[in-house]
């Protein structure tokens, strides 16, 4: 499992099972349907293609 988190200020952090911090990490429980996540005002969620994720992963940094 891998995760990219894009912040409103343009920062991009990535996490996997070996790289987590207090700011970003993988969930231990399923987060639910994408529609339910997107309905929460603090999140924006959308389905993307593998190539787009890999590009975002490559442009992101590990948490400190």
Q: Which of 11, 5, 46, 8 is nearest to 27 (CA)?
A: 5
Coil, helix or strand at residue 15:
strand
- pLDDT tens figures, 10-27: 999 999 988 888 888 888
C-alpha 17/C-alpha 4 separation (Å) is 13
Domain positions in the chain: 2-58
The structure's pTM equals 0.75
Taking the mean position of all CA atoms in its chain, how far away is CA 15? 8
- Mean per-residue pLDDT pooled into runs of 10, the chain (64 residues): 90 91 85 89 90 96 89
Predicted pLDDT of residue 59? 96
């Amino acid at each position: 499992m891998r995760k990219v988190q894009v912040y409103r200020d343009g920062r991009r952090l990535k996490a996997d099972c070996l790289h987590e911090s207090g700011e970003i990490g993988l969930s231990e429980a399923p987060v639910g349907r994408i529609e339910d996540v997107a309905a929460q005002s603090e999140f924006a969620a959308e389905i993307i293609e593998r190539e787009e994720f890999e590009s975002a992963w490559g442009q992101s940094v590990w948490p400190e």
